[in-house]
Structure 1
Amino acid sequence: MERITYQDIPSGMFENLMTIENSLNNSTIDLKLLELIRLRASQKNGCSYCVDMHHKELKHLGETELRLSSICVWESTPYFSEKERAVLALTETLTYIDVSPISNEMHHTLATLFSKEEICYITLAISQINTWNRLMKVFEFTPGNHKVSQ
């Protein structure tokens, strides 16, 4: 049972978050990469609603079952590109943020693979999904109901 329903949410709250989502989805970052970020952060945060949603979105984008089932162990598999690995590492670092800044090594890796603009969008995407995860953990939207838009 949902603690807070969609109808209970203050007017404009989700609309403002969706403005950011639309900006990210229309950025120079590949949508599949954005969805990998969203799925991995949701897994790390234990957000069943978002795991369901982003798993379905990735399947719709043509992601393979092998990679979908392996994202939770991405570091020990050969299925992810250098760019995906760098982004997944940053996703995990920013999802379990501590008092230290990201390492120079991590930043160097990102800077060799992405432009500054892309790093900004990737960082915002990670922050955004962590916001959604935290909202869903409180609201307890029921997982399993997400339908991919065609």
Structure 2
Amino acid sequence: MEVRFNYSKANPEALQTMYKLEGFMKTSGLDPILYELIKIRASQINGCAFCLDMHTRDLSNLGETNQRINLISVWREAPIYSEREKAVLELTETVTNISVQGVPHEVYDRVREHFDEREYVTLIMAINTINAWNRIAISTGMFPGCM
């Protein structure tokens, strides 16, 4: 495999913009484990091996178990996630695939049982951020171990 080109060298301003989004996320108050769950689930849906490799390691470094990391793609059938985490994973799937059905009221309501309006917006920003990273990595041909 070969990376198509180094996007950070081709357009450093774009990389800085992405870092600003990450900076916002770090100061947003979002639980780092929830953020990694979002990153992993969106990366699974988008097929971004580079990001999956990175974020499964990051979640492991936060002390998460292999079982919880390995079962994220089948979270509905795995009783090891809290209702709060399930709401976030469902929202992640829905927003990542937003062209399919938008965000149904039922999904919104389940998320709002656990998060206020400000936190809801933060979750949307987290989902948008990883989706943008996925699209950059996939479009430029990044793969695990390429950097």
Alignment TM-score, normalising by the size of structure 1 = 0.91
Structure 1 distance, partners of 2:102, 2:48, is 25
Structure 1 distance, partners of 2:14, 2:124, is 21
Structure 2 distance, partners of 1:12, 1:18, is 10
Tell me if the contact between 2:95 and 2:102 (Cα under 8 Å) persists in the aligned partners. no
Structure 1 distance, partners of 2:12, 2:29, is 30
- Which position in structure 2 is the counterpart of 1:132? 133
Structure 1 segments unaligned to the other structure (5+ residues): none
Structure 2 distance, partners of 1:129, 1:60, is 19
Structure 1 distance, partners of 2:9, 2:48, is 20
Structure 2 segments unaligned to the other structure (5+ residues): none
- Which position in structure 1 is the counterpart of 2:21? 20
Q: Using the aligned pairs only, state the percent identity.
A: 38
- Which position in structure 2 is the counterpart of 1:50? 51
1:141 partnered with 2:106: no
| Cα offset, 1:99, TM superposition | 5.8
Moved over 6 A (4+): none
- Which position in structure 1 is the counterpart of 2:32? 31
Structure 2 distance, partners of 1:109, 1:83, is 9
- Which position in structure 2 is the counterpart of 1:94? 95
1:41 partnered with 2:35: no
Equivalences, count: 146
Change in Cα spacing, 1:145 to 1:60, as seen in structure 2 (3 Å) is: farther
Bigger helix fraction: 2
Structure 1 distance, partners of 2:75, 2:145, is 24
User: CA RMSD of the aligned region, Å?
Assistant: 1.5
Structure 2 distance, partners of 1:52, 1:43, is 10
